[in-house]
Amino acid sequence: MCGIVGYLDKTGSNADALGGNVLGMLNALGCRGPDSAGVALYRDTKDETLVARVALPEHTGFDASSAKILAAAGKFAAVSDSSMTDCYLRFQIGAPACIQSLINAVESAAPGTEVVSLGRHLEIVKQVGSPANLEATYHVSGFKGTHGIGHTRLSTESRVDLSHSQPFWGHGYPDLAVAHNGHITNYHQLRRRYEQRGIRFYTENDSEIIAIYLAGQLSGGHTLEQAFDSMQCDLDGSFSCVVATDSQIGFVKDQFALKPLLYAETNDFVAIATEEIALRSALAGDYAVREAQAKESRTWRK
């Protein structure tokens, strides 16, 4: 069920290959999840502005909704470089004093709007269908950057639509993205606790809890490595998970090791995937591939 991938360019000189490498790995795993596909890709920039990717509400005029959203965002900071592809509005905005207030305003401007990603480096695109469909609509292979993760989904317990697709953004925490294969068995208990604290959930997908959990950990001052350690105690179930921030990529695997995950590290790259075929089909070279063990977690910095 489901396929997850991650890729980091260790050289800092192969930005042109990022989108193609992540897409190539996802294509090899397409048979694991035909329902939806998505990527979270990270550009290398010194620009302080944030990039927002916003899913526009269905059954409304996209142009009218976009105008309302841009007007709402413009009350917080200067907005620039807006564009629309399919159901996504993309724009850049100066860093506001309160990220959550910006998100609330944007999502209230047109009912059904969802901020899919926000960050200086991060851009998430995802949609129903195969990785090939994702490429046809958004030309993922042309994205230049440092690292990224991807997901192809087989729906087992929640509906098939853009919101339930992965990767998930850590809503409210810029530049955090998560792709997960598995099942969080204490999801409902954890969700009730978060909802009592006023945290909004956008889906019925148990994978969303991981993004919310990690956002809370990182917001509380923990490192990604510490957050992975805490996951082993606080989240029940079987899971393999790849995570990316503006400066790191990594994975964490549960104590039962029921969900497959493999990785390879060379002088040039780090690559993570559900199956070895994803690595071999997308990344040429003579390198060893290792299977992640129970309770193992690893992180790498760009």
The span from the CA of 152 to the CA of 28, in Å, is: 10
Instruction: Let me know if 87 is a catalytic residue.
Output: no
| 8 A C-beta contact, residue 123 and residue 51 | yes
The span from the CA of 302 to the CA of 299, in Å, is: 10
The span from the CA of 46 to the CA of 39, in Å, is: 22
By C-alpha distance, which of 71, 9, 2, 1 is closest to 265? 9
Given phi > 0 = left and psi -120 to 50 = alpha, else beta, which region is 141? alpha
The span from the CA of 263 to the CA of 271, in Å, is: 6
Q: At what angle do helices 99-109 and 62-73 cross, to 10 degrees?
A: 150
By C-alpha distance, which of 299, 292, 301, 227 is closest to 253? 292
| From 2, 98, 233, 241, the catalytic residue | 2
What residues pair up with 153 in beta bridges, in sequence order? 36
Report residue 43 as tokens.
């550009």
The catalytic residues are 2
